Structures are given as structure tokens and as C-alpha cells.
Amino acid sequence: MWEVRTDRGPGSPGSGLRNLRESGATGQLAPELGNALRREPQLLHRMARSLLDLHFPPSLHSELCEAVGLDLESEETGRLSAIRRKRDRRMRELVLTAYEYRCAFCGYDGRIGAVPVGLEAAHVRWWAFGGPDDVDNGLCLCALHHKLFDKGVLGVDEHHRILVSQRFVGHSPAAREHVTALAGRPLVGPQPGARPVAVGHRAWHTRQVFRGDPRPAVPA
């Protein structure tokens, strides 16, 4: 989709910003793709939908679309539908049950009647990167902590304690209470007999998603 040229000719020198600048790298859409987009403008929306589903967790889709000015709510493609049908829709119920309908980071357990509100099943290793729809690849998280987990602000260490990135900055009492104070706390759950987060999935998230170094544990 994207062609890169440098002072030395075609081809990318890598993704490092310094290498790109030093080589005079410039980029443009492949001519064939540019022509196709001019013939069929809706192709942009279908491509965006597919790329989002293939490379990012759903909790980040709306934020990414807003950042680039795309409104994809009414767009859907057969390919995306096929991809979504492959997901095991039982995962949410299995993960929420394993964690007894409580956020694994803060313990939030809100309901309207018998229906949980604001609780989600988060993939530890993103589904787009080979993460299975299994309980040991899931965490029950409230909507806030799910977003922060997918953004790399929060993570889980080898002892199943919460990591908080040093890159996160928040001075309000709410930011301290709901984020920075979590550093070093043990996860809430899962219940006895349920599989905890698998080592490989946890390590993938720490390596690929968690940002920077963790903050030291907050004294009790």
C-alpha cells in the first residue's frame, strides 16, 4: 500500500525515525492503490475497517478513527464480518465468570438489576496478534482499566501484580486513586479453579504493549 524512497533509491531503511530522516526517506501511496481509491472512494473505509480489526483491539478503534477523521460506524465489509464470526463469543461470559464479575484491577462490580454494566473481557495478547479466545488470555476489566490496559498504561507482572507505567502522568486525586495507586497490587481473582493469565500471553503484553518501565509499588 505504501512506497518509500530514500536518497539511495527505493526501499525503506527501517522504521526508526533517525534512519528515516538521515536517509531522506519520503513515502506515498502505491500508484495502483491511489488510482483505485479515486475510482472507488468507499475502498478507504473498507481498508480502514480491515486494518483496525487486524492490528488493534476494539477498545482503541473509535479513538483511532477520531484521530484521523474517519467515521466508520455505518461501514461494514464481508471480510470484517467473516473475521468477527471467527471469534468465540462465549469468551466474555467465561472470563467474567472466572473473575466473578469484578474488575481484576480495581474490583468494580457494577450492575443494573442482574446485568453487569461497564465490565468487559479484555484480551491480554491481542486477538489480532494471535491471542486466543481463552480464559487464560483474558481479564475481566472495567471500561476505564480495559482502555488503559490496551494503551500500555497498565500491565501484569510475573507474580500477577499490577504494573503502572512511569510514562503515565495524572495529578488529580481521581488519577492517583484509579491508576497510580494500583502499582504493585495483586489482581482481583480469578476464582479458585479458573486458569490465571498464561505466562506467554502476559509476557507478550509486557513486551509489545506496556509502555516504558513500571512504577514502584505503592506502600500500603
Q: How far apart are alpha carbons 139 and 107 in whole angstroms?
A: 12
217 falls within a domain: no
Give the range of the structural domain holding residue 46, as residue numbers without chain letter. 41-86
Residue 107, SS3 per DSSP = coil
172 falls within a domain: yes
CA 62 to centroid of chain Cα atoms: 12
Whether 147 and 127 map to the same domain: the answer is: yes
The closest of 139, 153, 142, 143 to 210, measured between CA atoms, is 153
220 falls within a domain: no
Whether 117 and 179 map to the same domain: the answer is: yes
Contacts 24+ apart (CB under 8 A), 173-176: none
Q: How far apart are alpha carbons 62 and 67 in whole angstroms?
A: 9
pLDDT for 61 = 76
Task: Among 51, 86, 121, identify where a domain stops.
Answer: 86
Pairwise pLDDT comparison (56 vs 125), residue with the higher score: 125
In the DSSP assignment, the letter for residue 165 is B
Give the total number of structural domains in the chain.
3
Q: How far apart are alpha carbons 205 and 157 in whole angstroms?
A: 10
pLDDT tens digit sequence for 155-181: 999 999 999 999 999 999 999 999 999
Q: Which amino acid is at 115?
A: V
Q: How far apart are alpha carbons 58 and 60 in whole angstroms?
A: 5
Whether 95 and 181 map to the same domain: the answer is: yes
Task: Among 86, 106, 122, identify where a domain stops.
Answer: 86
- Write down the pTM of the prediction: 0.67
pLDDT tens digit sequence for 72-101: 664 444 444 444 445 677 899 999 999 999
Pairwise pLDDT comparison (220 vs 200), residue with the higher score: 200
49 falls within a domain: yes
